[in-house]
Structure 1
């Protein structure tokens, strides 16, 4: 048997393996079929000293305000860093009776009481069926004025 004839089965096996890897690699998981939260353009500004938002004066304090698709959750990380998240849960975002994330009563995490998805105060999914983190919006602070934009 020639050297070329011996390598033919190896090439066939390599080609088959490569085909299988690429074929299965192209298959998405079921999470990729989840619909995305609608995009809305907005600019919201609030004073972090506003009497309605005392939570924004302490680290990890969080408040819910209007804006975005279903509202916004603002989280103070420290005196100069604020995070803003969409309240529309990424799990079934078009479900009109559900899909609204709130600050949990413990104030330690965020939750959609309808589907049971839980999120950290940094917007990362930590439990439940949510396939991805909360949508985060840009924030900027100038003096006491916090501006949230999409």
Structure 2
């Protein structure tokens, strides 16, 4: 089962924001901005670096600042979807091959940080995705983990 198929079967664990939502996989951060209508590419101005993001839509700065971790800025992709009502941005994680690396927030200053329950669910999702990578012949999309995820911050310091 491919990882994209894994995501389709297992669903996502999003964090809702005032501009839309974000979620993560082992390899990527996904941002969906749905606060605008009838978007055209000329309405979107994005500036990306390995550690920073700035997204201006229709002359309004929606997201700006230092990212929680480093990304591959030259591989970032954004698209306008759903007849111009959704801007989708995919940020490839630079450190995705480090096992158990979960972003605790979208931004380094902890903006757009999910509540503890959502963080735990994100962590479980990444663990299942890791199992899927390590065992491609099995389907972990509906598996449940009984692991304790109380100290999320401590596990990210590995």
Q: Same fold (TM over 0.5)?
A: no
Aligning the two structures, in what range does the TM-score lie when normalised by the shorter sequence? under 0.3
* TM-score normalised by the chain length of structure 2: 0.25
* TM-score normalised by the chain length of structure 1: 0.26
Higher RCO (CA-CA < 8 Å; seq separation 6+): 2
